A and B are shown apart, each in its own frame.
Chain A
Amino acid sequence: DAGVTQSPTHLIKTRGQQVTLRCSPKSGHDTVSWYQQALGQGPQFIFQYYEEEERQRGNFPDRFSGHQFPNYSSELNVNALLLGDSALYLCASSSLSEPQHFGDGTRLSIL
C-alpha cells in the first residue's frame, strides 16, 4: 500500500518563475495539507484541501495556490518565486480515522 507520494523530489528555479508541485495521498485518505519547512525549522502550514476546495489557509501570500482533483491528489502552485521560497515542501494526507501522514517532500531551491 503506497503512502503519500510527492513529485518532483528536487527542483531548481530562478526568481520570478512559477512552480507546480504534486502530491498523491495515501490510499483511503481524502484530505491533503501542504507545509513549508525551512532549514532548521518545523513545518509551517500553507493550506488544506478537502472535497476539491481549500478548507483552511495559513499565513502565506496569494502567490501560493493549490488544487485538489476528484481522485484526491493535489497540486501546490507558487508564482513569482522569491529567494525566501527555498524550502522543503511537504504534503500530508489524512482522513477522519487517521492522523496526517507525510510524503518525502519536494526540495525547492531558488537561484
Chain B
Amino acid sequence: EDKVVQSPLSLVVHEGDTVTLNCSYEVTNFRSLLWYKQEKKAPTFLFMLTSSGIEKKSGRLSSILDKKELFSILNITATQTGDSAVYLCAVSLPRSNTGKLIFGQGTTLQVKP
C-alpha cells in the first residue's frame, strides 16, 4: 500500500532557529513530491520536486529530494512566528500535475517569540 510518513509529528522552536522536517515515502509509480503549508484552512503550495539532488529554494525555505533513499527534507532557516503551521508532504502518482496526492499526517511546527 502506498504510504507517506512525516517526522517529527510536532516541533516547538524559538524564533531564529533552523528546523528540518522529514518525509519518507513508499509508493509505486512515483511522479513527484510536493510540500504544502497549512495554517487555518487551505494548504498552500510550497514546492514540487521531481528530480533527485536538486535543491529548490524560496526565501528562507528550501527542499531537496532523494529518490534513491525515498525521502525529502524541508528546511526553514531563521524561523519566524509566521512559520507556525502544519507542513504537509504529499506524493503525486502519474498523470503529471493532476495525479492524486497521497499525504503524510503532517508536522505541526510552533515557533515561539
Write the residues of chain A forming the contact surface with B, with a CB cutoff of 8 angstroms.
Answer: 3-4, 31, 33, 35, 40-45, 48, 50, 55-56, 58, 88, 90, 92, 94-105
Contacts and interface: CB of A to CB of B under 8 A. Distances in A.
B48 A99 contact: yes
B100 A94 contact: no
Nearest to A44: B103
23 contacts: A3-B42, A33-B98, A33-B101, A35-B101, A42-B88, A43-B103, A44-B103, A50-B98, A88-B41, A90-B42, A90-B43, A92-B101, A94-B97, A96-B96, A97-B97, A100-B45, A100-B98, A101-B45, A102-B36, A102-B44, A103-B42, A104-B41, A104-B42
Given A33-B100, A100-B34, 7 more contacts: A41-B106, A42-B106, A45-B102, A55-B95, A92-B101, A102-B42, A102-B43
A44 B36 CA distance: 14
